[in-house]
Amino acid sequence: MNEVRRGHRPPNGEAVLDRAFRLLAAFTPARPRLTLTELSTIANLPLSTASRLSGKLVSLGALERRPDGAYSLGLRLLEFAALAPRGHGLRAIALPYMEDLHRATRQHVQLAVREDDEAVIVERLSAPGAAKVLYHVGGRVPLHATGLGNILLAHTKPGFQEAYLRRPLRLDPEDTLMDPVELRDRLALIRRTGVATMTRLLPEPAASVAAPILDGDRKVVAALSVVGTDGSLDVRMLEPAVMAIAASISREVGARAATQ
């Protein structure tokens, strides 16, 4: 009798967990509900495999099956996300300060952390009439494309930064490329001044001011920004406020870490 092999990859070499994550990654803000056929196509999995894995993810609460048969992400994922210290823990510290900044500016106030070569937005407070934004909470942001990303990129190790600058620095939806020399100079300025400003023309003219959040070891762990309609946001007047709020969050992050 053949032994049952456990803990090994399937015959085609791809782990079941990898397949499951591909199913979860098929969902986006533009695709919050997907049929089984759509899941199979987007995740590039056989229909039978997509059906089996989707059923298991539903039983675990990672997916939900809707009355029409389509799938959506399950609330169990939100429970897991709430335990992430770089997301929820940092958000819990920053949120009261972000609310103060939001009340004062009536614009978007955002918080992001770096994960590999992208920034992940972990919180945003918005107001009616604020500028349109390209990225949602939980969304991944190219480090070169936003003030938040610029702050995080400016404080990476030189080797990482140089490797990043060698890649195509595309801006979407403008469909243009940034000049790496210009970006390198901007990152140097951010390190000197402690603040990043940026303007974008699409999806509508907007401006942002961002500042770093540091931990008790003075390492940058996140970035805070205000984004508003270009022309209604006085960037130079707002810089000291954003920097002061970021500094206040940094002090509490450091203090919390010291007591743990």
Task: Give me the DSSP letters along 43-110.
Answer: HT--HHHHHHHHHHHHHHTSEEE-TTS-EEE-HHHHHHHTT-IIIIIHHHHHHHHHHHHHHHH-SEEE
Q: What pLDDT was estimated at residue 79?
A: 64
DSSP H or E stretch at residue 259 = helix 235-259
Query: Of the candidates 83, 86, 25, which has an alpha carbon nearest to the alpha carbon of residue 223?
Result: 86
> Can you give the C-alpha Rg of the chain in angstroms?
21
Q: What is the pLDDT of residue 65?
A: 92
- pLDDT for residue 29: 75
Whether the Cβ atoms of residue 254 and residue 260 lie closer than 8 Å to each other: no
Asked if residue 211 lies in contact with residue 224, where contact means CB atoms within 8 angstroms, the answer is yes
- Do you find a cis peptide bond into 203, omega within 30 degrees of 0? yes
Residue 161 has what pLDDT? 95
250: left (phi over 0), alpha (psi -120 to 50) or beta: alpha
| pLDDT by residue, tens only, the chain of 260 residues | 443 343 344 445 568 888 898 999 898 877 889 999 999 999 999 999 999 999 999 999 889 998 999 999 887 876 676 666 555 578 889 999 999 999 988 889 999 999 889 998 988 998 777 777 777 888 888 999 999 999 999 999 999 999 999 999 998 888 899 999 999 999 999 999 999 999 887 777 888 999 999 998 899 999 999 998 877 778 888 999 999 999 999 999 888 777 76
pTM score above 0.75: no
Instruction: Give the pLDDT of residue 187.
Output: 97
- 3-state helix/strand/coil string of 147-205: HHHHHHHHCCCHHHHHHHHCCCCEECCCCEECCHHHHHHHHHHHHHHCCEEEEECCCCC
What pLDDT is attached to residue 38? 94
pLDDT recorded at residue 12: 53
Burial of 256 (0-12, 13-18, 19+ CB in 10 A): middle
- What is the tens place of the pLDDT at every residue in 183-228? 999 999 999 999 999 988 777 788 899 999 999 889 999 999 999 8
In degrees, rounded to 5, the angle at the alpha carbon of residue 137 between the alpha carbons of residues 52 and 241 is 165
| Domains in the chain: ranges and CATH | 16-80 (1.10.10.10), 84-258 (3.30.450.40)
